[in-house]
Chain A
Amino acid sequence: MIEIGNLDFHYGPSQALHDITLNIAEREVTAFIGPSGCGKSTLLRCLNRMNDLIDGARISRGAIRIRGVDIHQRDVEVMELRKRVGMVFQKSNPFPKSIYENVVYGLRLQGVRDKTRLDEAVETSLRGAALWDEVKDRLHASGLSLSGGQQQRLCIARTIAIEPEVILMDEPCSALDPIATAKVEELIHQLKLRYTIVIVTHNMQQAARCSDRTAFFYLGKLIEFAPTREIFMTPSNPQTEAYVSGRFG
Chain B
Amino acid sequence: MSHANHHPFRAKPSLGRTFEAGVFWVLRSTAYIILLCGGFVFGDIVLKGSSTVFRTEFPFVNTTFLTEAPESLYVFEHDGVKREMGDREFRAFRGAEARKAEAAGKPAPEIKATSYVYSAGGIYPCIVGTVLLVVGSMSIALALGVASAIFLNEYARQGRFIRVVRLTILNLAGVPSIVFGLFGMGLFVIFLDWNVSLLAGWFTLALMVLPVVITASEESLKAVPQGFREASLALGATKWQTIRKAVLPFALPGILTSSILGIARVAGETAPIMFTAAFVVRDKLPWQDLERASDFFFQGVMALPYHIYVVSSKIPQNEYTERVQYGTAFVFLLIVAAIATTSIVLRARLRRRYRW
Contact = CB atoms under 8 A, between A and B. Distances in A.
A137 interface: no
A48 interface: yes
B235 A158 contact: yes
B35 to A, nearest CB: 40
A93 B236 contact: no
B234 A109 contact: no
Interface string A85-107: 01101010111100000000110
Interface residues of B, number: 21
A89 B250 contact: no
Contacts of A83: 235-236
B348 interface: no
Contacts of B225: 93
B313 interface: no
A233 interface: no
Contact of B236 (A91, A109, A144, A155): A109
Nearest to B250: A96
A95 B236 contact: no
B246 A95 contact: yes
A110 B238 CA distance: 11
B231 A95 contact: yes
B230 A50 contact: yes
Interface string B305-343: 000000000000000000000000000000000000000
Given A89-B227, A93-B227, A50 B234 contact: yes
Nearest to B232: A105
B235 A109 contact: yes
Interface in B225-273: 225, 227-228, 230-238, 241, 245-246, 250
B214 to A, nearest CB: 21
Given A95-B246, A105-B245, A82 B227 contact: no
Nearest to A109: B237
A55 B158 contact: yes
10 contacts: A79-B237, A79-B238, A82-B234, A87-B234, A93-B227, A96-B250, A96-B354, A106-B235, A109-B236, A109-B245
Interface of A: 48, 50, 53, 55, 79-80, 82-83, 86-87, 89, 91, 93-96, 105-106, 108-110, 144, 155, 158-159, 162
Interface of B: 157-158, 225, 227-228, 230-238, 241, 245-246, 250, 354-356
The 3 A-B pairs at the shortest CB distance, nearest first, are namely: A93-B227, A83-B236, A106-B235
